[in-house]
Amino acid sequence: MIKDDCIFCKIANGKIPTNIVFENEDVMAFEDVAPMMPVHTLIVPKQHYENIADDVPVEVLGKVFAAVKTVAEIKGVKESGFRVVVNTNDDARQSVHHLHIHVLGGAKMNIGDPKA
């Protein structure tokens, strides 16, 4: 399913232009418009699922998460390190209700590490 009012559905299906990092038949990765790190890439399934708890078929989850390694390689953070984040619903600050993975990296992360 694709939702007509979902911005990520529109991006993933070519109706809104974006800076595409990676794309295949099932997923698209593109740059976040408000990056929190030097590397902040979003990976979305092309089909609409509200979030990771939306009865997403395991095959879709596998394809979305398989793209993480490819994106990390493309963005040059595979060796130096990166963080993968999935926000689910409003309390977790999911701002767009279309399943998406954040790949964050490109700098030392100080979040949650008092020694960093």
Domain boundaries, the chain: 19-39+60-78
**Which one from 40, 97, 100, 102 is the annotated catalytic residue?**
100
Are 81 and 105 within 8 A, CB to CB?
Answer: yes
* Local confidence pLDDT in tens for the 116 residues of the chain: 889 899 999 999 999 999 999 999 999 999 999 999 999 999 999 999 999 999 999 999 999 999 999 999 999 999 999 999 999 999 999 999 999 999 999 999 876 655 54
What pTM was computed for the model? Answer: 0.92
pLDDT of residue 100: 97
pLDDT of residue 109: 84
- 10 Å CB burial of residue 43 (0-12, 13-18, 19+) is buried
Our answer to whether residue 102 is catalytic in this structure is no
Element (H, E) at 114: none
